[in-house]
């Protein structure tokens, strides 16, 4: 068995995990749009009652007490039930997906779509179940929802790249390491390619809360300080 090293050098653009609620507690916007909208309102001192939630998915990391009562804080430090915030984010992404499908294809029915939600390899079963519940609360049919480890999804995606990458991962018995450096967590897993093309985990995933938001604090702190001045 041989170990291969594959280095990817491609542009990546990831939407920030942010949800903005209006003064009635209703969903307003997601991602950069949510942050820009709140910042604009704060700049004009018109943000009273608006609530911005950022990077809330990290409450799922090593939280053994997850339930419907679990809360998450907005940028002002005020608590809100976590499950609806997660559900709002998933519902937005679901709506965005269906619109993209409608724009690019014809005749695809929603009931024909199966959904795969990726989760960090180091999340425990409690966090995975919380995500499944949030997806169902967002209106997705639970029978068509599957959870997949981000490291496994990355491995499959790598096989769609250039010829050299495909060759490196193609052989039966090939072992490789996937290092997933996300916004909140860093996940490391080691996998093996089986004869039927599936992947076998040959070591427990490891990692921790060492994602990009923890190694680039200057940018995020500057943004936070600007908003804090407007509280």
pLDDT, tens digit, for every residue of 130-172? 999 999 999 999 999 999 888 777 777 776 666 566 555 667 7
The model carries a pTM of: 0.75
Q: How many CA atoms lie within 13 A of 147 on its CB side?
A: 19
CB 122 within 8 A of CB 205: yes
What mean pLDDT do residues 73-78 have? Answer: 93
Look at the block and give the residue holding tokens 């018995």.
173
More confident residue, 224 or 198: 198
Round to whole Å and give the CA distance between 30 and 194: 39
**What is the average pLDDT value for the chain, to the nearest integer?**
80
- Of 17, 99, 14, 22, the C-alpha closest to 55 is 17
Instruction: For the chain, state the CA radius of gyration.
Output: 20
Quick one: which H or E segment has residue 179?
strand 175-181
The per-residue pLDDT for 4 is: 37
More confident residue, 1 or 184: 184
Helices 82-104 and 125-137, packing angle to 10 deg: 60
Round to whole Å and give the CA distance between 139 and 97: 14
The predicted-structure confidence for 90-141, as pLDDT tens digits, reads as follows: 999 999 999 999 998 888 899 999 999 988 877 788 889 999 999 999 999 9
Round to whole Å and give the CA distance between 188 and 121: 8
The tokens describing 8, both together, are 């990817």
């Amino acid at each position: 068995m041989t170990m291969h090293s594959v280095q990817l050098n491609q542009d990546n653009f990831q939407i920030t995990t942010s949800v903005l609620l209006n003064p009635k507690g209703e969903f307003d916007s997601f991602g950069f749009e949510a942050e820009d909208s709140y910042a604009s309102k704060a700049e004009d001192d018109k943000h009273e009652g608006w609530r911005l939630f950022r990077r809330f998915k990290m409450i799922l990391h090593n939280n053994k007490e997850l339930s419907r009562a679990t809360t998450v804080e907005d940028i002002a430090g005020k608590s809100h039930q976590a499950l609806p915030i997660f559900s709002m984010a998933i519902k937005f992404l679901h709506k965005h997906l269906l619109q993209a499908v409608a724009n690019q294809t014809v005749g695809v029915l929603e009931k024909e779509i199966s959904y795969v939600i990726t989760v960090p390899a180091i999340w425990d079963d409690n966090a995975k179940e919380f995500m499944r519940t949030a997806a169902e609360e967002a209106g997705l049919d639970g029978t068509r929802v599957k959870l997949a480890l981000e490291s496994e999804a990355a491995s499959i995606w790598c096989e769609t790249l250039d010829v050299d990458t495909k060759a490196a991962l193609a052989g039966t018995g090939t072992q490789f390491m996937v290092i997933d450096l996300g916004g909140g967590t860093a996940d490391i897993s080691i996998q093996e390619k089986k004869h039927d093309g599936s992947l076998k985990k040959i070591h427990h995933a490891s990692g921790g809360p060492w994602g990009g938001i923890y190694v680039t604090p200057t940018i995020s702190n500057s943004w936070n300080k600007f908003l804090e001045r407007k509280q």
